[in-house]
Structure 1
């Protein structure tokens, strides 16, 4: 410690020495410093004043510089913003374009725009929040496009379902026009050298096959077409249908990888529509329009499907179309069998046949097999024949009921030629006779003959356009005509003959009429031959049974005459009032017998136009019945004994009968032949 203190004292002395040595300099420095302080204060005041002035003068400049700084900052921000906007603007424009396309229902272009937006534009600006929103919204937009396009497809399917009738009507009109054109060309082969080419079923719609883009940007579905006048060209089906919704939806689903889903949905919906189309209305059989609408809907359905088949790649295939057609064919045939069976009007059946032929021809143009439809028409042909027979049954009944059963009077050459023109009749003697004169037959002969020809024409009409050979047509007509003769006409004649109030005059006229109708059968054969061009000598040609029909009717009339005569004789005999115990000797025949003989004479006088054997048989039958009846009167159980007067009276009556027989009421009997009818009565009387 002592050393330390010593050392400190040493240092203090050194410091003191040093200070003493420099003290004068220190004093001088202080003096100088004091001088400098005053100057410094002046300088400070000057600087302060200068600074104040500078601050005052530079204040506006500072403000301007601050404003310039802010402007430069804004300029940099704007430039950066413009650069960023220029980068984002294509994205926004594409998005706006996408929205516009969706708004205008241009779904397929919208889907393409969405793809460009997703893969090209959005990756460049992916760090912005709005881009993330867009990216998150893309699946929703795709689903929206998918849903909207499906909605358009549903609208299209619904519209197609409602307008199938119009589409089918148009297609069938085109087929009818083509058939008419073909018929004109067949009738005028020279004029028809410049034949209008027939439209191919595949090009009936004016669209490209196998296109990969939508056909149109309009979703109109079915376009409105006003009804055309008959003499104007029928609009093509392509003028009625816009298939763009189908194409767009197919493309959209294909791009989205859901083509199979779309195909399954489309086919399922069309199958449902097919079942609805094939369900006929319950009252379809009442009018031809009911059948026409039914056929139009079916044709419209398959015209659409055929077009879809040939304008898309795999949306529908041939197997699918064939399956639908097989179902349609079976259901259509079943419906036609059911509803046509209710039809009793032959004109409606004929119109239906023509409609079915047009229906089949229309679908055949599109490549659908229609042989089963023509086979079914052969079934309807039998039904048509039955309806014709029913109709002609009424016609024959009216003709026979309205006939006066009197020979047709002719007062002029014009009337004579008219009758001969209606019925094949030749009689040289009648032609030579002066007017007025009479045909031997009544009016029902030419009427029945002409109605048979009308029936043949009606049968021929049904056979047209059935693709039958001449032999088949001839066979059909002959078989139907035979049914008309053997069943319908025969039944009508039999009903007339069996009527209770029919008289002998009518029966005689029926025999005469049927005789002439029988002779006309060969002309009916010729008539059928002329319209079918099939010779009667052809193998398997059916012969007409008209001869048998008229012979049977004539025989029935003859039997009815015999029966009628016998009944008349019985009525007269009921007036016989013999007094077997009388004592008076008479000198003349009984009044009832005189009246009976007078009746027989007048009756047999009418038989002059009958075939000889018929008149002779009727006369012989009447005489035999009269003799038998008189015999029964004589041999009655109540007659126990006879007086001479009674026998005398009965003898006078028998003589009257014999006198009648000898007078030859009907020519053609050998001498005394007719009297043999009374020989047994004479012998019994003698006993």
Structure 2
């Protein structure tokens, strides 16, 4: 058996057996045995191992036998022990074999279990990966559904944020799945849905803004009206504050405690959230420029929809114009607020372009409808609405120059209508006047007339209670009526500038020109046209009225300076009407001279002197008596209403004409010779006239008008006495005959002769002149029937006139 084992192999097994034998414990024994059993060749070497073990056993038995030979007993014991060992070895070998089989079976089982474990771990990992992928996909689907849910709830920005998170975060985690590709392809469409939805909401907001614009403008107008009221109250309390206009820096500071948000108040609230959201979403989508362009186009279309095709300016309430301007104001306020609340969204140029376009449309619309307006009160209402619009827009920083130009056009139309209305009124007043001194029945009438007229009562009549009623004022009723209209005209012209009108110099210029035209064309010329009347009393009344109108023009010039609208204008105001009334006065005086002189000529033409008479009358000729009576009536009745200075001047001119007319009688070429008796009769008449004049209160100023006549009469008397040579004595002539014309004096000296008259019977002079007393003007005649109308106008004046 041992010989069957190869030498090297045997030596290895022997060494291994030796190690097994030398093991200190069973465990070490097994540790040495197991590697041999696990060897791939172990299964074929078990027998050689057994042989090796047998060989070792034989060696050990030989050793034991050797030992036993010396120690038999011990040998026997050793043999027994060896047998026990052998039996143990056999048992051990069996166990080893069993163990080997068991290990082999266990190894196969473990390998199968390990394989099953590996397979189960792979399945589990796949399951886990599938589960995670499913979770990721479900999260993506949840976010995708959430985007649409938020879109349905109109949470557009939240939907866009969720879509952005889905695209940039969650889709990247599932890029290897097809669902990511599907959702990725749907993102632009979803973004478009969000953009369309937010634009739909914005369009709804824009529509509401368009519907709210008019009400917004109405609230803004009301706020401006309240600011006007507060500024007026401040001006009443403090004159300095009252000098500042609306929207001036001082007014804005003073009104700060009354701060009012036009866009957010109890009446109207404008929420810009839809615009902000839409702007933010388009910014996130990178479509800001496109959105800006679309929004601008939409606003331009809405601006066009605000402007109607035509406007009705004849509405008494100006509702059509108010609606137009309120809508324009609301539109512009929203534009300005949009520009203030956003950054780089609405360019200033775009807003200004819209405003300019809207202003041009409004101006064109109003201008085209102005020709239908023929009432100045309607124009004043229209101006008030436009001024309110201008002041409201000026407070928002919009340029209003084009609207100011529109106001200038309105003022031209307004002043023309006013001038036409007052022109007709003046014409009616002048044409219906009775041209009689104005009677006053009581103190109330007197107070009203004095309050509206530029009239200074004479001393002692300043207070109504100092006058005894009824009384008569020097002017006719046309004068206070014209004064009322002048004051009304002034007030209504200046009413145009009360709210807002920057062309104040135009008002002052137009007012002056219009007053000149009205007073000159409708009053002065009308009065001058009536100077053709043959009634001295009417001419005198016209002259009185002209005098008062001239005084009124002087006062009116001062009033125009005080009421001047332009603070930059300086210097006095000169009305052409003042000089025109003065010139008309001179024409009226001339006309009075003509009528008086004509009457004087008619009376003097009735003089019948017998220049060759030898009879000396006892009294003055009848024509001289009629002449002095006519002069007295003219002075005391016809010229009664004239100022003393003017009356004296007319009287002086009349007496001068009387003197010239009387001098013309003896100087007539038909009179060749004049008897002393005729000179005496002529001198009696002249002395009677001079005595009449000397008896007048105004004699010192009037008697000089008859000096040439008196000196000439004295010269004729000296000639009749044969002392005519004194006229040629320069030492005496200069004193007694200084105002006698040398040629006429010489002519009269030639005509007067000194021959004694032939006796002639005495006879009484008889008047062959008609009685002119019945033709005199009676100032006590009953008042004109128009005076009742005048009292009505005075009552209405207290309501109309603001002065």
TM-score between the two structures when normalised by the length of structure 1: 0.61
Counterpart in the other structure of 1:479: 509
Structure 1 residues 196 and 549: CA distance shift in structure 2, 3 A:
same
Tell whether 2:208 aligns with 1:177.
no
1:91 to 121, 125, 140: 140
SS in 2 for 1:438: strand
Instruction: Give 1:447's aligned residue.
Output: 481
Matched, 1:427 2:458: yes
Checking the alignment, whether the CA contact within 8 Å between 1:309 and 1:318 is kept in structure 2 is: yes
Which residue is equivalent to 2:471? Answer: 437
Render the CA deviation track for 1:443-474: whole Å, top value 9, x for unaligned: 22122223222222223332335576xxx85x
Cα distance in 1 for partners of 2:357, 2:528 equals 53
Deviations 1:453-509 (A, max 9, x none): 2222223332335576xxx85x65653443343211332223466479978354442
Matched, 1:197 2:256: yes
Change (3 A) 1:555 1:351: farther
Select 1:243's aligned residue among 272, 281, 286: 272
CA 1:258–1:390 in structure 2 vs 1: closer, same or farther (change >3 Å)?
same
Alpha-carbon distance in 2 for matches of 1:194, 1:540: 34
Hey, what does 1:264 align to over in structure 2?
293
1:395 aligns with 2:429: no
Matches of 1:246 and 1:140, distance apart in 2: 22
Q: 1:198 to 1:301 in 2, by over 3 A?
A: farther
Aligned residue number for residue 349 of structure 2 = 319
Q: Any idea what SS the aligned residue of 1:520 has?
A: helix
Q: 1:368 to 1:90 in 2, by over 3 A?
A: same
The answer as to whether partners of 1:497 and 1:560 remain within 8 angstroms in 2 is no
Question: What's 1:345 paired with?
Answer: 375
In 2, distance between residues paired with 1:167 and 1:463?
Answer: 26
Q: Separation in 1 of the partners of 2:565 and 2:171?
A: 83
Cα distance in 1 for partners of 2:598, 2:142 equals 113
- SS of the counterpart of 1:156? helix
- Of the three residues 530, 551, 569, the one matched with 2:582 is 551
- 2:300·2:354 contact (CA, 8 Å) conserved in 1? yes
Q: 1:583 maps to what in 2?
A: none
Residue 517 to residue 305, structure 1, CA distance change in 2 (3 Å): same
RMSD over equivalenced CA pairs, Å? 5.3
Are 1:362 and 2:392 counterparts? yes
User: Which residue of structure 1 aligns with residue 718 of structure 2?
Assistant: none
Structure 1 segments unaligned to the other structure (5+ residues): 1-75, 207-233, 573-597, 626-657, 675-687
Residue in structure 2 matching 1:120, options 141, 166, 169: 169
1:291 paired to 2:321: yes
Deviates more, 1:332-341 or 1:255-264: 332-341
> Equivalences for 1:139-150 in 2 at 5 Å?
139-150=188-199
* Residues 107 and 145, structure 1, Cα contact 8 Å, conserved in 2: yes
Q: 1:519 aligns with which of 551, 559, 566?
A: 551
Contact map agreement 1:280 1:294 (CA 8 A) in 2: no
Contact residue 441 and residue 469 of structure 2 kept, 8 A: yes
Tell me, yes or no, if the aligned pair for 1:161 and 1:273 is still in contact at 8 Å.
yes
Residue 263 (structure 1) shift: 0.9
Answer yes or no: is the 8 Å Cα contact 2:550–2:581 preserved in 1. yes
The structure-2 alpha-carbon separation of the partners of 1:121 and 1:405, relative to structure 1 and needing over 3 Å to count, comes to same
Q: How many residues align?
A: 518
TM-aligned CA distance change 1:107 to 1:673, over 3 Å = farther
Q: Name the residue aligned to 1:541.
A: 572
Q: Aligned partners of 1:193 and 1:156: how far apart in 2?
A: 32
Worse-matched range after superposition: 477-486 or 104-113: 477-486
Q: Does 1:151 align with 2:200?
A: yes
Distance in 2 (alpha carbons) for counterparts of 1:330 and 1:535: 30
1:317 to partner: Cα distance = 1.5
Distance 1:178 1:434 in 2: 51
> Which residues in structure 2 correspond to 1:646-657 (within 5 Å)?
none
Bigger drift between 350-359 and 606-615 goes to 606-615
In 1, are the aligned partners of 2:339 and 2:347 still within 8 Å (CA)? Answer: yes
Deviates more, 1:503-512 or 1:515-524: 503-512
Aligned residue for 1:165?
214
Deviates more, 1:152-161 or 1:664-673: 664-673
Q: Of 456, 459, 462, which residue of structure 1 is paired with 2:490?
A: 456
Secondary structure at the counterpart of residue 416 of structure 1: helix
List runs of 5+ in structure 2 lacking aligned partners: 1-124, 242-250, 603-628, 662-684, 710-803
In structure 2, relative to structure 1, the CA distance for the partners of 1:153 and 1:77 (3 Å cut) is same
Q: How does 1:294-313 map to 2 (within 5 A)?
A: 294-313=324-343
Within 2, Cα distance between the matches of 1:336 and 1:412?
50
Distance in structure 2 (CA, Å) of the matches to 1:146 and 1:359: 37
Q: Answer whether contact 2:311 2:365 (CA < 8 A) is retained.
A: no
Cα separation, partners in 2 of 1:567 and 1:98, compared to 1, 3 Å: farther
Change (3 A) 1:199 1:409: closer
CA distance in 2, matches of 1:363, 1:525: 37
For 1:514 and 1:360, how far apart are their aligned partners in 2?
44
User: Shift in Å at residue 303 of structure 1?
Assistant: 1.0
Paired position in structure 2 for 1:489: 519
Q: How far is the alpha carbon of 1:262 from its aligned partner?
A: 0.8
SS of equivalent residue, structure 1 residue 314: coil
Distance 1:560 1:268, change over 3 A: farther
Residues 673, 378 of structure 1: CA spacing in aligned structure 2 closer, same or farther, 3 A cutoff?
farther
TM-score (normalizing by structure 2): 0.53
State how far apart, in whole Å, the 1-side matches of 2:347 and 2:566 are.
46
Shift of 1:296: 1.7
Matches of 1:443 and 1:83, distance apart in 2: 111
Distance 2:289 2:396 in 1: 26
Q: Which residue of 2 aligns with 1:3?
A: none
The Cα of 1:419 is off from its aligned counterpart by 2.8
Q: Quick one: structure 1 residues 313 and 453, their matched pair in 2 at CA, closer, same or farther if it must change by over 3 Å?
A: same
8 A contact 1:529–1:535 mirrored in 2: no
Residues in 1 aligned to 2:386 and 2:565: alpha-carbon distance in whole angstroms:
26
